Structure 1
């Protein structure tokens, strides 16, 4: 059965919006991760929805969706990708697993993110939820550190710096969240309990990603000269449109901590393999006259893994 969403997505690759976004997000595909081409389809779909809404041509059952705050924030991300090359980062699966198993701190005020915006691509199935009778997942998100949020949506609090993020499923379900960098608050304005749980998971994973990059900036791949050109207003469009860039990884060199156990006798019940959860601690650095406090990651550990 063809739906209104299907009718919007079907011709999407012929549109100017898709072609511009696909050109700006032209990266080589990685197995186990969403393709930037699929992300471009998703982003361009929202641009088309917005254009049809302004023209009064949007089907009635989609008008409310087009007017919602999540859709407006998602449209902002789509427009950014349409207008210029936005950095893309791939979160390595082993690091993603460890960050999910790490509790966020109670207070992260003063955090200065190591990267201030971009698309974060997640391992498929990293954050799953049940939707439309089947399991779906959040496989990517757009994030940006902002102080002036009025350019995104007038309903957002413009008084405090925050990390804003937005994402969408293949069925165009849109989500967004904010991480306040002054008051250490995670906002969650979702209506349904299901959406609140999804936003909470993404908030925590994104916050832990920002913290771990402050703690170990070497986890971020260095971009080569050919990869970094074209990122930002000054260099936009200097690379050939058909040149796919190499993925930029976060945590490609990371490996999880493990504590091994030797096989026990037949009469002794073997200890169950489990995670010892990670957490964050503030530790002092410097001299007594001028202490500095830095975040330190106590990493999660796989315990009782049999050798």
Structure 2
């Protein structure tokens, strides 16, 4: 299994009508830098790539100018976007943006899962221009997938108030394996394994048994590495974010928090377990 294989979450997008508020919040908070994709600056729309500090390759983007909503979605690699759109709608997804060719770079589509959460599909281009751009970055991508730099997306989370509908859709739709995390200290948390993966790349929080707390708790969100989750959470709160959970500690030493930025888009912060000297 390769990190850049169909069915893997490899990107995220922030939709906004005000990109300056996005860069102004996340840039100082997580050390992000930004570069506008020149191919996208048409018809009032811009697509701004997001880079973690020191990273040679972007991990996500800000989509501005074509939405009335302040949203976030995960992006999943596809071998055939058109075929996957047809297959996923048969499983209960709704098309938001149909399969669209973007210059000679890629094909993408945006859908909503049966619980209304947004996600995108995109295909890798075989164009020489794309190959030239990605040359020399594969080693970084592989390393970042296992040990992301501070501020990078290192995981993702799905929250659901209907566990069966959500797990059925993603297992049938993408071949994910979703298993209860028995080390989660009794929390209703599941690990998500991409197709053929040995290690989890994301998690699922089951809110269906939480009564009022679970109301409206369907979401997808990227999770970013932080060297100090408590300090970064407090800095986010001072910048207008709402803290929904944590900072909390996992029995293995992982520290985690779930927040919503000033426009209500959820995101996670985490620090990995501390490795022992003889590990």
Normalized against structure 2, the TM-score is what? 0.30
Compare the two structures and name the one with the higher helix fraction.
1
Write 1 or 2 for the structure with the bigger share of strand.
2
Whose Rg is larger?
1
- Larger RCO (CA within 8 A; separation ≥ 6): 1
